[in-house]
């Protein structure tokens, strides 16, 4: 007789001799370990293992192969397969007596019954894809469930494990018991309605799966730890470790909320109330795993709606169209200490500061959950001799939903100094170019069509808005279910100069997932590049052209030697635009006042060095701490300790009384609010005081990358920023007293990153137009930012002159947007007209100047002559 046939856990169903069972069990060797294949001698266990493997494989394959952005409903067939497997195996267990507690081998068949429980767990989560009782599980929760499931299967071979192995197994069981207790309690409000709903298909039985698993594991932990003392350490570790993790998370959650509440209370006694409360909170909020979940609770993470006081019923359920993430730690914390000390509006503002979350916090009128980016086509033309490029990126969007219309939202990140100079949308299969208009008109038109009128009939608008930090936002609507949309954006960019090497940086975007997108890139050089450094994904240069076709890869750049600068001009509206080399000039400058913009990035050595260098030159040194405070040797240490706790700083530059003789010393932080985030705040209102000053405030940044706030002020020419080290600062203050001169003039703008300037002059009629029109576009865009500058927050700063300049160059700016509407009547309805005197949308098809006035006259004369000859010929034939 085989030993496996005598195992108590897997005896045949017709063997009912209790005495024989006990005798065989007692005669087994002490060190006996059953064979790995022994459990499979039981036909029911073997079938259950096969069904569980099949169910788990199908569940995994569905997650891998299906698109998560597809609309709910495509999972029905898979649900019925999982449900059928669980029901069928459960019926088999019932009919074969696996649940009869009177049988002597009831406990021996536990592994087989646990396979049935795991089949029900998989079936429940398959159903959860369509009916989000539990929202989408976080990554750690998914792995935890997998670990618990594997442990329940491994229990079959418990006696083959070492003592340590058994302790680890029961530690996992302890963790699983607490997790399933949590899940069962989470669903307690559904129990009353799940019982009567068992009539029919009985799908509501899934509600009780966590309770059944908690009961099974809890009973096993209780009985086995009483009978087998060596299992107790494992169970203790499992329970204590789980409770400890929850406690640490709750402590961090409570501490963060208390810090927020305390900061808000302190805000009420500030002498200066320029900044909103949420900014002060953000300055003292330490980033981290817990803080992120607190800010995202309710927006990304489920807060536990079944624990709330809402009524029982299916009305509490949500579809996957608005599914959130389910993290038990967040749910427990939200129930014990709701994050209501922070409003949803404040949470959104705090999230915007984190650059990685800014795109996700943009306002949307329609969801875009089921959208994917299928294809990206990039056409690039590079003029090495003018140190500029023009890029057209055409994006094809696919709506994977079956019957849902959605809105596509993109954030394009552009190279520094770039301007959007064209946009197109394909409407009814035809490419329609955008019209340039004011931001107010474009926004009104888009909102009216998308948010109001689309409830009756979906029309076709697309719009692009300027954003700070070299970004633009593109919105496209409607993206109909099962259909594609195509939108094209044209970007005019200066090439970056690095040690006599020109760099073309590819723009990239955030938006509908492009993980599986394909791309075609075609790069055309107008003159042969020298010492071209080509990324591996491109083919060799052929006829001054590079090409790449394959998977979408946005992270690449081209480098080549800078050739001599061309002096050829572009002519527009009686003015010429020419490139010229730019070399920074220095001016003599000794500050009377030095302002230190201190934050967490400052080291104590840097703080003391800046203070000592300024004091030695008889300059007064100031910091801002709820008002301007002058530094001295007595308050130096205390001031640094207080200011270094700020995760970022927003120095109120409008409080600098004498900007002409002042120096601001700062150090960049990875994140900070943008100027647009502060709109409609006292800070923004007081910002208008800068309109009185014409001289940009000289600013020294102690690291290469200024904060987003400082960078925005530099782009708007409010600050004149230069970078360097503490040693450079000491040399400037103590020896050279030379500071880079602000280079802009009324007829000359500087693209410092490219090492060039563009000069505008009146055309005397001698200069012909041979340069690309992008010279005029970059000049107008940079000149607009210069003109807006410190008037950014001033009401009604959008003068007709500035708007006309934006329209003449057809560039997107803080006061102009490009918009595509469906029909000419739509443009007329919103008062949007195309400017025929200036430049149109940039394109590869037409380069050079628009006709000058005398050229228009010549064209009219030629057309008149041709018309006359045609009429005369027609008359003669008669």
Q: Which of 110-119, 121-130, 296-305 is predicted least confidently?
A: 296-305
Confidence of residue 310 (pLDDT cuts 50, 70, 90): very low
- Whether the pLDDT of residue 560 is over 60: the answer is yes
pLDDT at 559: 95
Domain-terminating residue out of 534, 559, 579: 579
Residue 491 lies in a domain: yes
- Whether the pLDDT of residue 186 is over 60: the answer is yes
Peptide bond before 478: cis, by omega within 30 degrees of 0? yes
Residue 843 lies in a domain: no
Q: Higher pLDDT residue, 154 or 838? A: 154
User: In this structure, what token pair is assigned to residue 135?
Assistant: 């929202």
Residue 467 lies in a domain: yes
Confidence of residue 226 (pLDDT cuts 50, 70, 90): very high
pLDDT at 674: 86
Name residues whose C-beta falls within 8 Å of residue 434's C-beta, 6 or more positions apart in sequence: 422, 423, 424, 425, 462, 464, 818, 819, 820, 841
pLDDT at 664: 95
Residue 406 lies in a domain: yes
- Whether the pLDDT of residue 872 is over 60: the answer is no
Angle between helical axes of 139-154 and 163-186 (0-180°, round to 10): 130
d(CA 360, CA 5): 61
Residue 173 lies in a domain: yes
Q: What are residue 628's phi and psi, to 5 degrees?
A: -75, 130
Confidence of residue 492 (pLDDT cuts 50, 70, 90): very high
User: In this structure, what token pair is assigned to residue 485?
Assistant: 């949309």
d(CA 209, CA 73): 23
d(CA 169, CA 184): 22
423 near 805, Cβ under 8 Å? no
What does each C-alpha distance from 169 to 231, 304, 615 come to in angstroms?
Answer: 9, 30, 67
Most confidently predicted of 1-10, 23-32, 463-472, 790-799: 463-472
CATH of the domain at 686: 3.40.50
d(CA 844, CA 701): 40
Q: Which of 315-319, 489-493, 529-533 is predicted least confidently?
A: 315-319
- Whether the pLDDT of residue 22 is over 50: the answer is no
pLDDT at 82: 92
The mean pLDDT of 602-624, rounded to a whole number, is 93
Is residue 226 domain-shared with residue 292, that is, in the same domain?
Answer: no
Is residue 336 domain-shared with residue 269, that is, in the same domain?
Answer: yes
For the four alpha carbons of 498, 501, 502 and 504, in that order, the dihedral sign comes to negative
CA angle 502, 503, 507 (to 5 degrees): 150
Confidence of residue 316 (pLDDT cuts 50, 70, 90): very low
pLDDT, tens digit, for every residue of 33-49?
Answer: 446 788 888 899 999 99
Q: What are residue 596's phi and psi, to 5 degrees?
A: -100, 120
Helix, strand, coil % (nearest 5) of the chain? 45, 20, 35
Is residue 184 domain-shared with residue 325, that is, in the same domain?
Answer: no
pLDDT at 418: 95
Q: Which segments of 705-836 does DSSP mark as H helices, in order? A: 708-715, 726-731, 774-788, 800-809, 824-829
Confidence of residue 864 (pLDDT cuts 50, 70, 90): low
Tell how strand 620-624 and strand 593-597 pair up.
Answer: parallel
Is residue 452 domain-shared with residue 311, that is, in the same domain?
Answer: no
d(CA 801, CA 788): 11
637 near 643, Cβ under 8 Å? no
Domain-terminating residue out of 172, 201, 234: 234
For the purposes of burial, counting CB atoms within 10 Å of the CB of 657, is it exposed (0-12), middle (13-18) or buried (19 or more)? Answer: exposed
pLDDT, tens digit, for every residue of 448-469?
Answer: 888 766 655 667 899 999 998 8
Confidence of residue 269 (pLDDT cuts 50, 70, 90): confident
Is residue 627 domain-shared with residue 717, that is, in the same domain?
Answer: yes
In whole angstroms, how large is the CA radius of gyration of the chain? 35
Of the candidates 99, 84, 95, 10, which has an alpha carbon nearest to the alpha carbon of residue 54?
84
Most confidently predicted of 103-107, 433-437, 656-660: 433-437
Domain-terminating residue out of 687, 712, 742: 742
Cβ neighbours around 125 below 10 Å, total: 18
Of the candidates 394, 373, 396, which has an alpha carbon nearest to the alpha carbon of residue 517?
373
Residue 29 lies in a domain: no
Of the candidates 286, 148, 275, which has an alpha carbon nearest to the alpha carbon of residue 650?
275
The mean pLDDT of 394-407, rounded to a whole number, is 89
d(CA 36, CA 14): 24
Confidence of residue 15 (pLDDT cuts 50, 70, 90): very low
For the purposes of burial, counting CB atoms within 10 Å of the CB of 360, is it exposed (0-12), middle (13-18) or buried (19 or more)? Answer: middle
Name residues whose C-beta falls within 8 Å of residue 602's C-beta, 6 or more positions apart in sequence: 640, 643, 644, 667, 702
pLDDT, tens digit, for every residue of 562-578?
Answer: 999 998 999 988 889 99
- Whether the pLDDT of residue 10 is over 60: the answer is no
Is residue 518 domain-shared with residue 384, that is, in the same domain?
Answer: yes
The mean pLDDT of 570-595, rounded to a whole number, is 90
382 near 391, Cβ under 8 Å? no
- Whether the pLDDT of residue 24 is over 80: the answer is no
CATH of the domain at 559: 2.60.40.1170
872, containing H or E segment: helix 853-877
CB half-sphere exposure, 217, CA atoms < 13 A: 30
- Whether the pLDDT of residue 7 is over 90: the answer is no
- Whether the pLDDT of residue 497 is over 80: the answer is yes
Is residue 378 domain-shared with residue 258, that is, in the same domain?
Answer: no
Is residue 193 domain-shared with residue 270, that is, in the same domain?
Answer: no
pLDDT, tens digit, for every residue of 336-378?
Answer: 988 888 888 888 888 888 766 788 778 888 888 889 999 999 9
CA angle 859, 834, 747 (to 5 degrees): 80
Tokens 């009146």 sit at which residue? Answer: 762
Q: Higher pLDDT residue, 315 or 681? A: 681
pLDDT, tens digit, for every residue of 499-517?
Answer: 899 999 999 999 998 988 9
Q: What is the DSSP letter of 542?
A: B
pLDDT at 846: 54
Most confidently predicted of 26-30, 136-140, 374-378, 711-715: 374-378
Is residue 216 domain-shared with residue 351, that is, in the same domain?
Answer: no
Is residue 485 domain-shared with residue 425, that is, in the same domain?
Answer: yes
- Whether the pLDDT of residue 8 is over 80: the answer is no
73 near 402, Cβ under 8 Å? yes
Q: Which of 214-228, 469-483, 528-542, 763-777 is predicted least confidently?
A: 763-777
- Whether the pLDDT of residue 334 is over 60: the answer is yes
Confidence of residue 62 (pLDDT cuts 50, 70, 90): confident
Residues 180-197 as b/e (b if ≥16 CB within 10 A, e otherwise) read bbbbbebbebbeeebeee
381 near 526, Cβ under 8 Å? yes
Phi-psi category of 500—alpha, beta or left, where left has phi over 0 and alpha has psi -120 to 50?
Answer: left
Secondary structure of residue 62 in the 3-state scheme: helix
User: In this structure, what token pair is assigned to residue 758?
Assistant: 């563009």
Q: What is the DSSP letter of 844?
A: S
For the purposes of burial, counting CB atoms within 10 Å of the CB of 61, is it exposed (0-12), middle (13-18) or buried (19 or more)? Answer: exposed
d(CA 458, CA 756): 47
Average pLDDT, the chain: 84
Is residue 196 domain-shared with residue 281, that is, in the same domain?
Answer: no
Of the candidates 527, 515, 565, 521, which has an alpha carbon nearest to the alpha carbon of residue 539?
521
What is the number of residues in the chain?
A: 878
What does each C-alpha distance from 159 to 29, 229, 244 come to in angstroms?
Answer: 13, 15, 30
Long-range Cβ contact pairs of 48-54 (< 8 A, separation 24 or more) = 48/89, 48/112, 48/115, 48/116, 48/119, 49/115, 49/153, 51/85, 51/88, 51/89, 51/115, 51/119, 52/115, 52/118, 52/119, 52/122, 52/153, 54/85
Q: Which of 44-53, 287-296, 317-326 is predicted least confidently?
A: 317-326
Most confidently predicted of 198-202, 322-326, 765-769, 842-846: 842-846
The boundaries of the domain holding residue 195 are: 40-234
Q: What are residue 875's phi and psi, to 5 degrees?
A: -70, -40
Q: Higher pLDDT residue, 495 or 190? A: 495
Most confidently predicted of 153-162, 293-302, 686-695: 153-162
pLDDT at 306: 54
pLDDT at 311: 40
Residue 80 lies in a domain: yes
127 near 83, Cβ under 8 Å? yes
d(CA 226, CA 215): 17
For the purposes of burial, counting CB atoms within 10 Å of the CB of 328, is it exposed (0-12), middle (13-18) or buried (19 or more)? Answer: buried
Q: Which of 127-136, 223-232, 482-491, 555-564 is predicted least confidently?
A: 127-136
pLDDT at 106: 52
Overall domain count for the chain? 4
Is residue 538 domain-shared with residue 607, that is, in the same domain?
Answer: no
CA angle 784, 790, 794 (to 5 degrees): 95
Residue-by-residue DSSP string for 446-485: HHIIIIIGGGT-----EEEEEETTTEEEEEEEEE-TT-EE
302 near 132, Cβ under 8 Å? no
- Whether the pLDDT of residue 27 is over 50: the answer is no
Name residues whose C-beta falls within 8 Å of residue 391's C-beta, 6 or more positions apart in sequence: 378, 379, 380, 490, 491, 493, 506, 507
Confidence of residue 16 (pLDDT cuts 50, 70, 90): very low
The mean pLDDT of 614-643, rounded to a whole number, is 91
Percent of the chain with pLDDT over 70: 86
Phi-psi category of 250—alpha, beta or left, where left has phi over 0 and alpha has psi -120 to 50?
Answer: alpha
Residue 487 lies in a domain: yes
């Amino acid at each position: 007789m085989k030993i496996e046939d005598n195992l108590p856990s897997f005896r045949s169903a017709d063997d009912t001799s209790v005495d024989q069972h006990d005798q065989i069990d007692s005669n087994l060797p002490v060190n006996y370990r059953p064979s790995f294949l022994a459990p499979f001698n039981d036909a029911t266990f073997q079938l259950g293992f096969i069904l569980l493997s099949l169910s788990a494989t199908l569940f995994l394959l569905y997650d891998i192969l299906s698109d998560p952005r597809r609309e709910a409903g495509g999972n029905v067939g898979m649900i019925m397969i999982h449900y059928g497997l669980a029901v069928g195996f459960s019926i088999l267990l019932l009919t074969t007596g696996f649940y009869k507690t009177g049988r002597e081998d009831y406990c021996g068949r536990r592994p087989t019954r646990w396979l049935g429980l795991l089949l029900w767990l998989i079936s429940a989560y398959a159903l959860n894809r369509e009916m989000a009782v539990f929202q989408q599980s976080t990554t750690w929760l998914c792995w935890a469930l997998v670990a618990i499931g594997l442990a329940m299967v491994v229990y079959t071979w418990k006696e083959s494990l070492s003592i340590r192995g058994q302790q680890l197994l029961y530690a996992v069981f302890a963790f699983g018991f607490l997790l399933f207790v949590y899940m069962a309690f989470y669903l307690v409000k559904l129990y009353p309605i799940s019982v009567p709903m068992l009539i029919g298909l009985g799908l509501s039985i899934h509600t009780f799966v966590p309770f059944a698993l908690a009961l099974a594991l809890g009973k096993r932990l209780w009985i086995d730890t009483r009978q087998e003392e060596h299992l107790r350490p494992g169970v203790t570790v499992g329970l204590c470790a789980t409770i400890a993790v929850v406690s640490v998370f709750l402590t961090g959650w409570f501490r963060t909320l208390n810090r927020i509440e305390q900061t808000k209370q302190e805000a009420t006694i500030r002498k200066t109330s320029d900044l909103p409360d949420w900014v002060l909170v953000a300055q003292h909020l330490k980033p981290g795993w817990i803080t992120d979940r607190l800010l995202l609770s309710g927006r990304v993470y489920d807060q536990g709606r079944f624990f709330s006081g809402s009524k029982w019923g299916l009305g509490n359920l949500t579809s996957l169209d608005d599914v959130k993430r389910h993290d038990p730690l967040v749910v427990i914390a939200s129930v014990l200490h709701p994050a209501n000390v922070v409003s949803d509006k404040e949470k959104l503002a705090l999230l915007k500061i984190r650059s990685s979350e800014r795109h996700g916090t943009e306002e949307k009128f329609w969801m875009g959950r089921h959208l994917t980016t299928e294809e990206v086509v990039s056409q690039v033309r590079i003029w090495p001799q003018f140190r500029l490029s023009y890029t057209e990126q055409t994006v094809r969007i696919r709506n994977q939903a079956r019957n849902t219309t959605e809105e596509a939202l993109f954030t394009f990140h552009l190279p520094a100094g770039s301007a959007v100079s064209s946009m197109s949308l394909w409407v009814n299969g035809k490419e329609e170019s955008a019209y340039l208009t004011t931001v107010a008109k474009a926004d009104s038109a888009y909102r009216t069509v998308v948010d109001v009128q689309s409830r009756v009939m979906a029309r076709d608008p697309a719009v692009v808005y300027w954003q700070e930090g070299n970004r633009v936002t593109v919105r496209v609507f409607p993206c109909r279910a099962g259909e594609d949309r195509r939108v094209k954006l044209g970007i005019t960019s200066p090439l970056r100069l690095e040690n006599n090497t020109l760099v073309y940086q590819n723009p990239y975007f955030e938006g509908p997932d492009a993980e599986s997108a394909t791309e075609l890139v075609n790069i055309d050089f107008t003159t042969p590049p020298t010492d071209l450094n080509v990324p591996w994904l491109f083919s060799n240069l052929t006829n001054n052209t590079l090409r790449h076709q394959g998977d979408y890869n946005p992270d690449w750049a081209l480098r080549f030697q800078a050739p001599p600068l061309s002096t050829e001009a572009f002519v527009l509206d009686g003015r010429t635009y020419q490139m010229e080399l730019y070399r920074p000039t220095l001016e003599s400058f000794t500050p009377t006042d030095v302002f230190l913009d201190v934050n967490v990035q400052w080291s104590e050595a840097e703080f003391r060095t800046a203070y000592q260098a300024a004091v030695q030159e008889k300059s007064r040194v100031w910091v801002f701490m709820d008002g301007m405070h002058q530094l001295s040797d007595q308050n130096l240490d205390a001031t640094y300790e207080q200011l270094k706790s700020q995760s970022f700083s927003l120095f109120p530059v409008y409080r600098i009384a004498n900007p002409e003789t002042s120096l601001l010393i700062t150090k960049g932080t990875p994140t900070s609010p943008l100027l647009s985030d502060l709109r409609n705040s006292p800070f923004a209102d007081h910002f208008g005081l800068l309109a009185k000053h014409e001289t940009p405030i000289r600013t020294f940044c102690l690291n290469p990358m200024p904060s987003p706030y400082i960078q925005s002020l530099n782009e708007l020419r409010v600050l004149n920023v230069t970078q360097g080290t503490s040693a450079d600062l000491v040399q400037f203050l103590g020896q050279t007293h030379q500071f880079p001169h602000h280079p802009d003039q009324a007829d000359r703008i500087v693209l410092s990153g490219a090492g060039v300037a563009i000069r505008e002059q009146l055309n005397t009629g001698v200069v012909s137009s041979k340069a690309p029109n992008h010279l005029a576009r970059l000049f107008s865009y940079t000149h607009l930012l210069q003109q807006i500058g410190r008037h950014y927050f001033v009401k009604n700063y959008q003068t007709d002159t500035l708007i006309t300049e934006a329209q003449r160059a057809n560039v997107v700016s803080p006061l102009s947007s490009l918009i595509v509407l469906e029909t000419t009547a739509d443009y007329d309805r919103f008062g949007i007209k195309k400017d025929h005197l200036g430049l149109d949308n940039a394109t590869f098809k037409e380069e050079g100047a628009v006709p000058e006035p005398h050229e228009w006259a010549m064209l009219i004369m030629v057309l008149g002559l041709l018309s006359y000859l045609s009429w005369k010929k027609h008359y003669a034939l008669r």
